[in-house]
A and B are shown apart, each in its own frame.
Chain A
Amino acid sequence: EAQAHVTKINRFHKQINGNDKVTLTFSLSANLESLFTWNTKQVFAFVTAEYETAKNSLNQVSLWDSIIPDKDQANVQVEVKSKYPLIDQGTSLRGKKVQLVLHWHIMPNAGAMIRGKMPLSEFTLPDTYTS
């Protein structure tokens, strides 16, 4: 029931310190209403880019996050620019296949905090830098 797609690569380049950096725009459609119960203060929803490189077995980078204060606002339909850039530890991003994952963190009025996630679409970064 949740979907996310990269709609645009805004900028893809190598930083002065030698790390690849991407800023992108993506659309997200997710209904998180079912996460809300009487003991839910808020849901912290976020989208990560996850990929593997020769150096790292896991790279898990937040692209965007949002605090959902109540159920009325839990049906998320947005197209947003990445709030945090996707920066690699190195230069492995050209042509890299990246998984988008939707995560949620349920923060209660009192009690245990619950986390969950759902893999969404994959996308492949361009083979060349944009600038």
Chain B
Amino acid sequence: AIRGVLSAKRRRKNADLPSVPVLAIVRSSPPPPLGRNIAAREIPVESQPGEMGFIGDQVESIRSMQVRQVVTQIISLGMIVTSALIIWKGLMVATGSESPVVVVLSGSMEPGFKRGDILFLHMSKEPIRTGEIVVFNIDGREIPIVHRVIKVHERQESGEVDILTKGDNNFGDDRLLYAQGQLWLQKHHIMGRAVGYLPYVGWVTIVMTEKPIIKYLLIGALGLLVITSKE
């Protein structure tokens, strides 16, 4: 069995963090010293006639700098969130699968796929064939399953298919996992076929799902990092 990656957005967000150049621009300006405002006013106009205008300009530019800095940080935070969303939705369109990346949760496909590995799905128009590894939903089951197709029967006229699946590491086929009385999967049960594989990466989401405190700590730390990154 597998889980659609709910927290994959979050993971992408993290991945995007280092590539925010906007903050770097702010960092290069000198930090505004506190009280500079008042000090500037105390300088007598007569003694340093030329300086006044210069310092005043500086103060103004530093104040507007602070505002800009805050605005820039809010914008960059927004950009991280939206770019993560864009990437995720873009992946959905490109792969044609409503959840393009899934995490393997069970050992039914061992030793090929282990718990915590991730699979990249693709849903094309091409017909399903025996031997392919597909992700499918069963009515009444919350978590989709990733198993291999072992039988395909395709109708002459309509092209409708009957599909039977089995986990590589399971003894019998999946009829026991299907809904009561269900003998075959049809096209509409299939969420996608697995086309790519990466080991271990999915542990991030498994840990975050099973230990939510770690998730909140991580989100908090990242948020803090984005907001406070001045120096």
Interface residues of A (CB under 8 A from B): 41-42, 44, 46, 48, 54-62, 65, 67, 69, 84, 89, 103, 105, 107-113, 115, 117
Check B199 for interface membership: any CB of A closer than 8 A.
yes
Known contacts A112-B195, A115-B132; is A60 also within 8 Å of B151 by CB? yes
Known contacts A44-B112, A44-B131; is A111 also within 8 Å of B153 by CB? no
Q: Among the listed stretches B6-14, B41-49, B65-73, B154-162, which one makes contact with chain A, having 4 or more residues with CB under 8 Å of it? A: B154-162
Check B198 for interface membership: any CB of A closer than 8 A.
yes
Nearest-neighbour CB distance to chain A for B117, whole angstroms, equals 9
- Whether B131 and A112, one on each chain, are in contact in the complex, defined by CB atoms closer than 8 angstroms, is no
- Whether B199 and A113, one on each chain, are in contact in the complex, defined by CB atoms closer than 8 angstroms, is no
6 A–B contacts from the bound complex (CB under 8 Å)? A46-B131, A58-B152, A58-B154, A61-B152, A84-B173, A105-B132
Residue of A nearest to B200 (CB): A110
With a cutoff of 8 Å between Cβ atoms, the chain A residues found around residue B194 in the complex are: 113
- Whether A56 and B131, one on each chain, are in contact in the complex, defined by CB atoms closer than 8 angstroms, is no
In B107-155, which residues have CB < 8 Å from any A CB? Answer: 111-112, 129-133, 148, 150-155
With a cutoff of 8 Å between Cβ atoms, the chain B residues found around residue A113 in the complex are: 133, 194-197
- Whether B156 and A54, one on each chain, are in contact in the complex, defined by CB atoms closer than 8 angstroms, is yes
Distance between Cα atoms of A112 and B120 in the complex (Å)? 9
Distance between Cα atoms of A41 and B168 in the complex (Å)? 14
Residue of A nearest to B196 (CB): A112
Distance between Cα atoms of A89 and B183 in the complex (Å)? 12
Nearest-neighbour CB distance to chain B for A129, whole angstroms, equals 21
Q: Other than A48-B130, A107-B197, A115-B132, give 17 A-B pairs with Cβ distance below 8 A.
A: A44-B168, A48-B131, A56-B154, A57-B154, A60-B151, A60-B154, A61-B151, A67-B111, A67-B112, A84-B173, A89-B162, A103-B131, A105-B132, A110-B199, A112-B196, A112-B197, A113-B195
With a cutoff of 8 Å between Cβ atoms, the chain A residues found around residue B130 in the complex are: 46, 48, 60-62, 103
- Whether B150 and A57, one on each chain, are in contact in the complex, defined by CB atoms closer than 8 angstroms, is no
Residue of B nearest to A104 (CB): B131
With a cutoff of 8 Å between Cβ atoms, the chain B residues found around residue A117 in the complex are: 131
With a cutoff of 8 Å between Cβ atoms, the chain A residues found around residue B129 in the complex are: 60
